[in-house]
Structure 1
Amino acid sequence: MRAFLIIAPDGSLLFEAAGVADILGHANRFCPNADGGAYRIAFAGTQAHRVVHGASGLNLLADHRLADLDPATEWDTIVIVGRGTSEDEGNKVADWVRRAAPNARRVVSICGGAMVLAQAGLLDGRRATTHWRLLDTLQSRFPNVIVERGPIYVRDGPIWTSAGVTAGFDLTLALIEDDYGFTTARNVAQELVMFLRRPGGQSQFSRYVVDLARNPGPIRELQSWILDHLTEDLSVERLAEHVAMSPRNFTRVFSREAGIPPAKYVEEVRLDAARQRLEQGSGSVEQIARATGFGNGLNLRRVFERNLRITPTEYRERFRMLSVA
């Protein structure tokens, strides 16, 4: 039997913690040969009491207070769901996990829990992901983390991290498969009417939030201009000419001000525009490719597959507005 400790900070989405527990609990039904069942699950709250106050107003009564648990206790897997609502809470959880990690076979985070693992130093030099809204924050606050922006979960040695919310369920199925094999994970997925492998690949389909440069000036003005001129020549040379800089100096200044190289910025805003048109409009892939500066459907498909692991047509089928004919 594998002992799981699920740490649920205050303000968590409780269905994340409960969902992980339910998925693991169902695995017990399909592992009759496991000694006492596949998993033993315990919840720990992070407050002075055992009540975890959920973001929705619902509460969960934990089995333990985290402060009462000895970090030297051996757990098969420690799971952190969310990052808490205060800096003090996050510091306490990070400190406990830092001391407990050497005694666990695996340490797992769901959604913002990756911020806690990073704070504990467990992600230094490792690949990791988190909710798409936190990707830039994770990278800027913890530059030693190798942030993966596409996958819904990432495994790097004994550390597993997932993207936001329900991505943690995909990760949990992956843990079951790692522990007890494909057949058990498949049986659990079928029982719970889940995808063992999401259609279109394991991508969180995060909305690219491309921020404008931090400071007012020519780079921010250029970014706004780019958004209105996606079909024009947006090469580095052309953009550098637009702001009267040499290409080399322009690339350096743009990257510093915007936090992203100019070519990558152009690709992301074009991709974002294409995604919106696929979600909201009925134009063909070729028409959308031309309207967003990709030139043709082949180029658009390549960018989609590289960034989202899915084709434009598959993306439209999954995210198209119901009102679009």
Structure 2
Amino acid sequence: MAERVMVVVGYESAELLDIACVTTSLSLANTIGRPAVPYRVVLAGPGGGPIMCDSGLSLAAQQSLERLVGPIDTLIVSGGMGFERAAADARLVGHVRRLAGESRRVTSVCTGAGVLAAAGLLDGRRATTHWRFAPALAARHPEVVLDPTPIYIRDGNVYTAAGVTSALDLTLAFVEEDHGPELARQIARDLVVYLQRPANQAQMSLFTAAPPPRDPLVRTVVEYITAHPDHDLATAALADLVGVTPRHLTRLFTEHLGQAPGRFVRQARTEAAAHLLTSTTLPMARVAARCGFGTAESLRQAFTGRYGISPSRYRAAQTRRTPGTGVPAR
């Protein structure tokens, strides 16, 4: 194999960052690593004409989807506000399906998952997309096992990445897979990216993912939970705090937050632990105590369930340490 052909699919109102995160990272891989098998990046679109991004900037396609043939190393379908029109375009979807059959890896970025789903390439597979568009995609394609939480998901040879800059995380993962972790780290440094995020890291912080609950009682309880993760946060104790029954509080949480109080508490504590792991050098037992887990093992179980990696691995991946000090460099 003389080169790895990486085809990026764009269309009208594609997201420029979805495209640029991929193309710039792969270009740096060639420049920095000078791999024996370099990447050849091809931007393709319907008809091979200019791709007008949803930001108003125009990109010159290098190839038309209609004339493109394999073999292809990786087919990457971009997202963007034009994804619904793209997914409804039978010719575009047909060519994506055809090219996927000639590709070693198939992937989408952000709402590009809608195009892969329309092509039947996500049927029966676990996949992700931008959290904002996940409910609509799940309703439109019940055959897809949609999980809006992770940064990216791999199911066989099909990869789906979450919103916008997750394209960078996925591309770095491809570079690591193809050429090893050191080149991926060098690219991250050149791009001034803090560190490569693990695939299973949640897309959003629990505390910034959505506006505060409209219900004042639920809002009061949520604020108490997030401010006091080490307190007694059993449903009965929280219900006493606001003067209602545990059953009524559970009903309110389910109605306004889509989950029971106990599940929300577990997520809030895990989020708090993630913050402490990357902002302090506290030992695991202290982190666990501050976040209400009681033991380091309880923290490990909750953290692994939430992020897919252990707290110690998360800290190592997310914290750049100053040599010889063991103190996070901030």
Q: Does 1:18 align with 2:31?
A: no
1:42-65 per-residue CA deviation (whole Å, 9 max, x = no partner) reads 31247994256597x986421146
Q: 1:226 Cα shift? A: 1.6
Structure 1 residues 168 and 121, CA gap change in structure 2 (3 angstroms): same
Q: Is the 8 A contact 1:6 1:78 kept in 2?
A: yes
- Partner of 2:301: helix, strand, or coil? helix
- Give the alignment partner of residue 208 of structure 1, picking from 188, 201, 205: 205
Structure 1 residues 260 and 147, CA gap change in structure 2 (3 angstroms): farther
Q: Is the 8 A contact 2:175 2:184 kept in 1?
A: no
User: Which residue is 2:43 aligned to?
Assistant: 43
- Map 1:134-213 to 2 at 5 A: 134-135=130-131, 137-139=133-135, 141-143=137-139, 144=142, 145-148=144-147, 151-156=150-155, 159-163=158-162, 164-170=166-172, 172-173=174-175, 185-186=178-179, 202-204=199-201, 206-210=203-207, 211=210
Q: Is the 8 A contact 2:303 2:309 kept in 1?
A: yes
1: CA distance between counterparts of 2:127 and 2:30? 26
Q: Is the 8 A contact 2:48 2:63 kept in 1?
A: no
Q: Does 1:93 align with 2:86?
A: yes
The two structures, once aligned, show a CA RMSD in angstroms of 4.3
User: Which residue is 2:264 aligned to?
Assistant: 265
2: CA distance between counterparts of 1:28 and 1:230? 49
1: CA distance between counterparts of 2:212 and 2:39? 48
- Partner of 2:230: helix, strand, or coil? coil
Q: 1:271 Cα shift? A: 1.4
Q: Is the 8 A contact 1:251 1:261 kept in 2?
A: yes
User: Which residue is 1:35 aligned to?
Assistant: none
Q: Which amino acid aligns with 2:16?
A: S
2: CA distance between counterparts of 1:217 and 1:306? 30
Q: 1:128 Cα shift? A: 0.8
The normalised TM-score by structure 2 is: 0.68
1: CA distance between counterparts of 2:57 and 2:132? 30
1:91-148 per-residue CA deviation (whole Å, 9 max, x = no partner) reads 2322245333442326420244335445767546531124xxx335414652434333
2: CA distance between counterparts of 1:321 and 1:4? 31
Q: Which amino acid aligns with 1:100?
A: H
Structure 1 residues 49 and 209, CA gap change in structure 2 (3 angstroms): farther
Structure 1 residues 287 and 4, CA gap change in structure 2 (3 angstroms): closer
The normalised TM-score by structure 1 is: 0.69
Q: Which moved more, 1:154-163 or 1:40-49?
A: 40-49
User: Which residue is 1:182 aligned to?
Assistant: none
Q: Does 1:253 align with 2:248?
A: no
Gaps of 5+ in 1: 32-37, 178-184
Gaps of 5+ in 2: 188-194, 322-326
How many positions carry a matched residue from both structures?
295
User: Which residue is 1:280 aligned to?
Assistant: 279
Q: 1:161 Cα shift? A: 0.8
User: Which residue is 2:9 aligned to?
Assistant: 7
1:143-201 per-residue CA deviation (whole Å, 9 max, x = no partner) reads 43433356553233564212413222145358xx6xxxxxxx346x6666669xx9996
Q: Which moved more, 1:118-127 or 1:298-307?
A: 118-127
2: CA distance between counterparts of 1:243 and 1:98? 55
User: Which residue is 2:61 aligned to?
Assistant: 62
Q: Is the 8 A contact 1:127 1:154 kept in 2?
A: yes
Paired-residue identity, %: 25
Structure 1 residues 153 and 318, CA gap change in structure 2 (3 angstroms): closer
1: CA distance between counterparts of 2:46 and 2:263? 40
Structure 1 residues 299 and 11, CA gap change in structure 2 (3 angstroms): same
Q: Is the 8 A contact 2:229 2:292 kept in 1?
A: yes
1: CA distance between counterparts of 2:30 and 2:87? 27
1: CA distance between counterparts of 2:226 and 2:316? 26
Q: 1:266 Cα shift? A: 0.8
- Partner of 1:233: helix, strand, or coil? coil
